[in-house]
Amino acid sequence: MDGKSTKIRSTREIIGPIFWIKLVGLGSEGVGKTSLVRSFCDKKFSKSYHATVGVDYGFKIHELEGVEYRLNFWDFGGDTDYQLIRTELYKDTQGCMLIFDVTNKASFDKLDSWLHEFHDNGGQGAVVTVIGNKSDKLNRHISIEEGKKWAAKNGCDYYETSAASKSGVKEMLDGLLTTIIERRMIKPKWIGEENKQK
């Protein structure tokens, strides 16, 4: 020892805070919610369609401007039979991805219903982003202008994505996280507190 005081750094100082973000994906059956979540989580795209039974879950560590965020994706089945399951899990959500299929007008027309369900069951205050999925398809029935107009009317940002090609996926995710961060909706947790995340 040289007589100088040595400060032992705590685990908190070394590792720093952990930022957890809860994101939910809502929309009609077949719009590509599960495929998008798989794209977010860097999993392989599947051309075969399997309806989500109740709820599915995905996880990804995503870096934005040098900070790591732990993203928890909740992918809800769009069938009305799963409404009770969905509404029980909307609480404490920071970001909602409201997804429709640009080739399916009925899925676009149901956005109002999905937004009301989310807001009426604990989703107030969360950042809602509208996503026009399957933008790689040629037979689209909803234009970019229509999507942007609906989103603006409801105070939401608008993005178009393709789960198949991953086009627009990172841009959408970065945009959603940036808005969540700007609204200071994230409370940091420290090592040992991760399991307390609701």
pLDDT, position 160: 98
Alpha helical stretches, state H, the chain? 11-15, 33-40, 83-88, 105-109, 111-118, 144-153, 169-182
Please provide the CATH number assigned to the domain covering 16-188: 3.40.50.300
Share of the chain above pLDDT 90, in %: 44
Q: What share of the chain is helix, strand, coil (3-state, %, to 5)?
A: 35, 25, 40
Is the pLDDT reported for residue 45 higher than 70?
Answer: no
pLDDT tens profile 76-104: 876 666 677 777 888 889 999 999 999 99
Determine contact, residues 133/107, Cβ cutoff 8 Å. no
Backbone angles phi, psi at 164, to 5 degrees: -70, -45
> What angle (nearest 5°) sits at the alpha carbon of residue 50, between those of residues 62 and 137?
70
Least confident of 60-64, 67-71, 188-192: 188-192
- Write the single-letter amino acid at 109: D
How many other C-beta atoms lie within 10 A of the C-beta of residue 145?
8
Crossing angle, helix 33-40 and helix 169-182, to 10 degrees?
80
What is the pTM assigned to this prediction? 0.79
The count of C-alpha atoms lying within 13 angstroms of the C-alpha of 145, restricted to the half-sphere facing its C-beta, is 0
pLDDT tens profile 97-143: 999 999 999 999 999 999 999 999 888 889 999 999 999 999 999 99
Domain parsing of the chain, residue ranges: 16-188
State whether residue 194 is helix, strand or coil. Answer: helix
100 DSSP β-pair partners: 132
Instruction: Give the mean pLDDT of 4-19.
Output: 54
pLDDT, position 60: 87
pLDDT tens profile 159-196: 999 988 889 999 999 999 999 998 876 666 655 555 44
Instruction: Return the biggest CA–CA distance within the chain.
Output: 76
